[in-house]
Amino acid sequence: MNNPLVQPDPGLYIWTILTFLVLVFLLAKFAWRPLLAALEQRQQLIRQSLDEARQARQEIARVKAESDRILAEARSKADEILSATRTDANRFREETKEHARTEAATIVKNAERQIERETAHAVHKIRQEAVAISFEIAAKLLQRNVSQADNERLVEETLSRIGSGRPN
């Protein structure tokens, strides 16, 4: 079987090689350079994206550090405010206690003065009644009646002697 497609033909080889070389030349001139340029452009785009991603990561780290610092400052200020509030509350409590103590001491002093006045008044009344009773007893003993004016004068004299601490 003589098939012309299976038979080696040197002319066909030459034309095939020549066509192949022309095709490689044309592809190199018109297709290979734009293809390499597109690949180079894509490679630069990938590098640029990686650089931007790296910068974004650094920016995120910087922002995180800044937010951590701000959060720490806020916590510190909150602690300071709480501490100041506690200090103010303790100071207010102490001032209130001191005010209550002062007021209680004033009330006690006023009560003591009132008691002293009431005691002095009671002692004075008791002395007057004791003198009046003494005069009544003396009058009964003497069997004579002292007039009311004499009685009051004697009571005043006796009270003044008792008040001054002098004996009869």
pLDDT at 165: 58
In this predicted structure, the answer to whether residue 75 has a pLDDT above a threshold of 60 is: yes
pLDDT at 103: 94
In this predicted structure, the answer to whether residue 93 has a pLDDT above a threshold of 80 is: yes
List CB contacts of 70: < 8 A, sequence separation 6 or more.
Answer: none
Q: Provide long-range contacts, Cβ within 8 A and 24+ apart, for 130-139.
A: 131/155, 131/158, 131/159, 134/158
pLDDT at 4: 67
In this predicted structure, the answer to whether residue 166 has a pLDDT above a threshold of 60 is: no
Under DSSP, is residue 125 helix (H, G, I), strand (E, B) or coil? helix
Q: Give helix 33-142 / helix 148-164 axis angle, nearest 10°.
A: 130
Token pair in block for residue 121: 């008044």
HSE (CB half, 13 Å, CA atoms) of 26?
6
Q: What is the pTM of this model?
A: 0.41
Q: Write down the domain spans for the chain.
A: 10-164
Indicate the length of the chain as a whole number: 168
